[in-house]
Amino acid sequence: MADVLLSCAFVNLKPGVGKTTSAVWLAHALCAMDVPPLLVDSDPAGSALRWSELAGGFPFPVVALPVGDVHRCIDDFLGGRQAVVLDAPQLEDHARIARGVMRHADEWIVPVTPAPIELDRMAPIQAEMGEVQSLRAEPARTAVLLNRTNRRESTRTGPDADAREVLAERGFDVLDTQIARLDLYSQSFGGPVQVENTAYMDLAGELLKRREGA
Amino acid sequence: MNQRKDNYRAALRREPVEPPPLAPRVTTLSNRYVRVTIELDADVQRRLDRWVTPAATLVTGTARTALSVVAALTERVPPSDSGTRGRP
Ligand SMILES: Nc1ncnc2c1ncn2[C@@H]1O[C@H](COP(=O)(O)OP(=O)(O)OP(=O)(O)O)[C@@H](O)[C@H]1O
Ligand SMILES: [Mg+2]
């Protein structure tokens, strides 16, 4: 793989957890931090690519690579870019493509809503991640992103804090940044993204810092 | 005690019910002139299994039917020495 600063993929077993929304917003945040990324849409549904089309283009390139050997194709599109953000399809329906994405990305981010029905899928995800790690030369970093949380900031009590605590007990690395459930995000598909002063700027900062620490 | 935290803990302890999808099998053949890597998608094996079982049943079923037809026919054929051969 070419020497990129950050290659991170949003992955989950399930659809509808916020992979595309997070990938698009994070890519904008990286761009705003002068690390213009390549956004790779590997979901056959093509939502990220469609979003950029509806928005009249993003300030960085978006390519659709819904193929199993996506990990071998990405470098051809990098053009010296320092970051890659990948929107993976849900593992339960497109295992081969999602695994290709995970073979490329050196950071796997699992967006999860702090609710029991979503936490119930975390053990199978952990098993799946273990399998893909064995196909890699170097293990990827993995992290959980609390998405659609009740509060903007992390608190000491409440569902967000409880989810954070039990995920950590099970060995998951939960990112400090959390993304609140806001109309700002749920209504954003198809339009241009104004990322300044949002939690995605914090997320980009946190991910770059994790990369430095690695 | 926090009921919600206990619910969350119980959810996180879920065991995988279905076997995790198999990793692709990789075989490489390399010599001085060529280097070939074959990656067999694990799904292929499952699809083959699914296809082979009914096909095998069909084949054995057909063989069995053919045998019984042959058996029935041979029973009906008159014994060779009780024929009309030899009559003028
Ligand atoms: N932080 C948030 N606040 C409010 N709504 C959100 C948030 N994040 C995502 N959503 C909404 O949740 C829904 C699912 O999000 P998204 O499409 O990004 O998920 P996905 O994992 O990419 O789904 P799919 O697997 O179908 O591609 C969308 O309606 C989206 O607008
Ligand atoms: Mg999506």
Buried/exposed code over B27-39 (b: 16+ C-beta within 10 A; e: otherwise) = eeeeeeeeeeeee
Distance CA A154, CA A161 (A): 7
User: What is the tally of structural domains in chain A?
Assistant: 1
Of the pLDDT bands very low, low, confident and very high (cuts 50, 70, 90), residue B28 is: confident
What is the CATH classification number for the domain harbouring A169? 3.40.50.300
For chain B, percent of residues with pLDDT exceeding 90: 11
Q: Which residues of A touch B (CB under 8 A)?
A: 68, 95-96, 116-117, 119-124, 127-128, 131, 134-135, 159, 162-163, 165-167, 169-170
**What residue owns the CA closest to ligand 1's atom 16?**
A18
Does the beta carbon of A150 lie inside 6 Å of ligand 1? no
Residue given tokens 């749920």 in the structure block: A186
> In which domain, by residue range, is A134 found?
6-213
In a domain, A14, yes or no: yes
In a domain, A53, yes or no: yes
Q: Are strands A107-112 and A179-180 parallel, antiparallel or unpaired?
A: unpaired
In a domain, A140, yes or no: yes
pLDDT in tens, chain A (214 residues): 557 889 999 999 999 999 999 999 999 999 999 999 999 999 999 999 999 999 999 999 999 999 999 999 999 999 989 999 999 999 999 999 999 999 999 999 999 999 999 999 999 999 999 999 998 989 999 999 999 999 888 778 899 999 999 999 999 999 999 999 999 999 999 999 999 999 999 999 999 999 988 7
B26 vs A87, B22, B38, CA distance in Å?
Answer: 26, 12, 6
User: What is the number of CB-based contacts under 8 A between chain A and chain B?
Assistant: 52
In a domain, A1, yes or no: no
What integer pLDDT is reported at residue B83 of this predicted model?
46
Identify all chain A residues contacting B10, using CB atoms and an 8 Å cutoff. Answer: 116
Q: Return the ligand number nearest the Cα of A203.
A: 1
B34-86 per-position pLDDT tens digit: 878 777 776 666 666 677 767 777 777 777 888 888 888 777 666 555 444 44
What integer pLDDT is reported at residue B84 of this predicted model?
46
What integer pLDDT is reported at residue B43 of this predicted model?
65
Q: Which two tokens stand for residue A67?
A: 């193929």
Residue given tokens 């992979």 in the structure block: A19
What integer pLDDT is reported at residue A110 of this predicted model?
98
In a domain, A148, yes or no: yes
Residue (of A11, A51, A5) closest to A28 by Cα position: A51
Contacts of B60 (CB under 8 A, 6+ apart): none
Distance CA A130, CA B21 (A): 12
Q: Which two tokens stand for residue A113?
A: 């809503």
Distance CA B28, CA A163 (A): 45
Instruction: Quote ipTM for the complex.
Output: 0.83
